[in-house]
Structure 1
Amino acid sequence: MKAYVFETRGGALLGEVKPSDVTWSENANQSETVTPTFDLNSKTEGGRDWRNLGAAWKHSIALEVNGRLLGGPIMPHDFDDDKGTLRVVARGGRILFTRRSVLPPEALTQPLTLPNGELDTSLDSTWSGYDLGTIAKKIGVQACLWPGASDLPIIWPEDRAGTHTRTYPAIDRKNVDAAWTDLSKAENGPDIRLGLEWDGDNRFRWRFQTGTQEQPRLQGRDVFTWELRQGSAVKVQTNPALMGSLAWGQGGRSNDTALVRSLYDPVLIDHGYPLLELDSDVSSNTSEPTTVDSANAETLRTAAKPWEFWSFKVRADRSPYPFEYGPGSLIEVVVTKDTKVSGGYIPPGTYKRRIAGLSGGFDEWVTITCGENYDA
């Protein structure tokens, strides 16, 4: 495991650093988190100017875990003089877009409203005729036209045609990361990843990747298999909060109308469950009934059973290695009669799952968290 500090803008390597401890975690469609701790009483780290090297947002940390790169802008510091330690939190590159709005660069000098107080719709952002992943790209590319963002080292993919349209009124100042999340949560919405990689020997960059209309999940063709054994630290969490039979979506605020749509699925009712209603994750500004219908369909798609997440530990220094799999990868979890789970909670069998997140530390173990593969 190696760690580096680099410039967030431009990606230039500033040097390799030596943490005394580190934890990391990565989840689908979110910024990863890297948390190294440095011993400032050591010869290597005690001689560094961490007050400047650790400049929040300006500098970033990259962590290399068995060939897998994670990291991005430095966030908080936690200095402890008694212990002589500095704990630094860094987030993936996507965190930069949690502080950005879906707005064209003209909005830097042009008011969002006209002199008479009416909205200036010329600053609205509209993309049409693309798949959802390309609309996500367009949002990001526009955000990088602003000062302080044009030199972010991001590789963007080619455009892909599609049937989708998205409009973001300037007056809403929609958050870029939130817009990406909305696109991922749409019916058949794509995974969105900003993955860190080397750019030569002394520079880093991010590669923007999204799922396609035909394959919305960012997953390889390989299916990785692990057999649960003693020491695998198996845990199962179930959450019925998103179970339901009736989904409601409401919009219309953008044109001062009321748009309310619902969708009913009798599966749970037919199996003896009480009626449970859900609110779909749809913007209140949505004015297209088809968009609300799509959100309702996505809400009910996974509402017929509790959300269930399994986690277990695997060796990072053995095949398959962490650089081979990641959030989105399909896996098979095997439980045999010889390695029973306590109380038979998970009966023997082979279970297909999708990795939702990874986490680890300074040792050679990786914790895999996976959910059911709803879209196999």
Structure 2
Amino acid sequence: MGTEREYTAVVYSTTTGRVLYDLDLDAEPEWSTRVNDVGGGRIIVPLPGDEKTARVREWCVPWRYSIGVLRGDTVCQGGPIVPYSPDDDKTKLVVAFKGFWELLNRRLLHNENWNPATAKITDPSADLSITDSLPNIGRTIADHALGWHHRPGSDLPLDLPPVLPGGGTHVRNYRGYEAAYVGQRLQELTQVDGGPDMLFQPYLTTSGGFRYIRHRMLIGNPLLTQPGAPLRFDYNSTLVSLSIAGDGSALANTAFVKGTGNEAGTLFGYATDTTLIDAGWPALDMVDTNHTSADQQSTLDGWAKADIQLYGSQPEQWQAVVRADADPPLGSYTPGHFADYSVKGHHWLPSGIYSYRILGVSHSGSTPRGCVDHQLQAVRAA
């Protein structure tokens, strides 16, 4: 008798979330979820031939259907099927899927009231202007992407968070003619100085006797945090292993962010931090070209400051392997939460308690059974 699968996988309707099929698996799924990132995964299903293979062809349809990976009732990751690859020499099929954010990476941002039948995308009616707090701006962007009045197909199984009280003075003018995607604009919000964390968390629910996978849009203010004390994982117990990789290839102490314009008329954001230089490091510059449509100097400077916070003192990456069923179990926390990792007898680290934020949670072919991987917020090597 074969080993019981640790994970299960289902197919669900991308637009409604209704679960349609429980899948047979040829191997444990791989999946990853990360704050401010798309995430995704892949499954391998057998192709036994005849009617069962015909059923696979029915659901293996990119974008129309989505894959959900579950551990018990916890939905680890879910989102649209994108590529798949049957093999002539093997009776199995590899199906890859992306996280929910990928759907917003294929959806243009415009005012929900814009009517393409009466106005071009360059018309002011397609523009969206928002003055609010950064978390509320993110929520408004998503809201306009889900409720088109004059275009079909905007429905998605997404729960928006409550509007935060108090408002704010941040201004964002999104022009239809910029033809920017919703996912891109959300990503940009997370990258400015003080920008909010975002995560699309899938969950399983039941309605009318049918199962559904829906997604919660979680928005930090600015960080996604949990109430109460940090989680705790103990080395050689709930913390199975801790790997560390030092890499200074992205280290920078000055950031230039390229905005809109040409040649000498190009706008640039700028930020610098001389802390490392004063301590003996050389000057290390970076040029960020991910925001070339931005036309606000303050916004560009905010991105530059955020780049320095991200790349200015963080050349060491930590990954922890923790037990999925032990306290705290998988499903009781999400990327963005803080955790204490109690280390004793490690070959590199002094004994002590190290407190970091969980940026991502994943499971791959190399992850031990009963465990998941934590990608921790990068820290500066001592």
Q: TM-score, normalised by structure 1?
A: 0.86
How far the C-alpha of 1:334 sits from its partner, in A, is 2.0
Instruction: Describe the superposition over 1:201-250 as per-residue Cα deviations: whole angstroms up to 9, x where unpaired.
Output: 422221112112xxx11121241222233993432122323433322234
Q: 2:74 & 2:330 partners in 1: Cα distance?
A: 6
State the SS of the aligned residue for 2:105: helix
How far the C-alpha of 1:199 sits from its partner, in A, is 3.2
1:350 matched to 2:357 = no
Residue 190 (structure 2) aligned to one of 170, 175, 184: 184
Query: What are the residue-to-residue correspondences of 1:1-376 with 2, within 5 Å?
Result: 1-21=7-27, 22-41=29-48, 46=52, 49-69=55-75, 70-104=77-111, 106=114, 108-109=116-117, 110-113=119-122, 120-128=123-131, 130-146=132-148, 147-160=151-164, 161-200=167-206, 201-212=210-221, 216-221=222-227, 222-229=229-236, 232-253=240-261, 257-280=265-288, 283-336=291-344, 339-341=345-347, 345-361=348-364, 363-372=369-378
How far the C-alpha of 1:185 sits from its partner, in A, is 0.7
State the SS of the aligned residue for 1:204: strand
Instruction: Describe the superposition over 1:31-82 as per-residue Cα deviations: whole angstroms up to 9, x where unpaired.
Output: 2313111122299x93661111121111111111244312111121121243
Equivalence for 1:116: none
Q: Which amino acid is 1:78 matched to?
A: S
The answer as to whether partners of 1:57 and 1:73 remain within 8 angstroms in 2 is yes
Cα distance change of structure 1 residues 63 and 79 upon mapping to structure 2, 3 Å threshold: same
Cα distance change of structure 1 residues 102 and 150 upon mapping to structure 2, 3 Å threshold: closer
How far the C-alpha of 1:149 sits from its partner, in A, is 3.3
State the SS of the aligned residue for 2:142: helix
Q: TM-score, normalised by structure 2?
A: 0.85
How far the C-alpha of 1:23 sits from its partner, in A, is 1.3
Q: 2:269 & 2:158 partners in 1: Cα distance?
A: 39
For structure 1, list consecutive stretches of 5 or more residues without a partner in the other structure. Answer: 114-119
The answer as to whether partners of 1:241 and 1:306 remain within 8 angstroms in 2 is no
Q: Which amino acid is 2:190 matched to?
A: S
Cα distance change of structure 1 residues 124 and 2 upon mapping to structure 2, 3 Å threshold: same
Q: 1:154 & 1:236 partners in 2: Cα distance?
A: 36
Cα distance change of structure 1 residues 320 and 350 upon mapping to structure 2, 3 Å threshold: same
The answer as to whether partners of 1:66 and 1:321 remain within 8 angstroms in 2 is no
Q: 1:262 & 1:34 partners in 2: Cα distance?
A: 37
Q: 2:84 & 2:311 partners in 1: Cα distance?
A: 40
Q: Which amino acid is 2:158 matched to?
A: I
How far the C-alpha of 1:325 sits from its partner, in A, is 1.9
Cα RMSD (Å) of the superposition? 2.6
Cα distance change of structure 1 residues 148 and 360 upon mapping to structure 2, 3 Å threshold: farther
State the SS of the aligned residue for 2:190: helix
Q: 1:137 & 1:334 partners in 2: Cα distance?
A: 37
How far the C-alpha of 1:252 sits from its partner, in A, is 4.5
State the SS of the aligned residue for 2:240: coil
The answer as to whether partners of 1:308 and 1:371 remain within 8 angstroms in 2 is no
Cα distance change of structure 1 residues 86 and 103 upon mapping to structure 2, 3 Å threshold: same
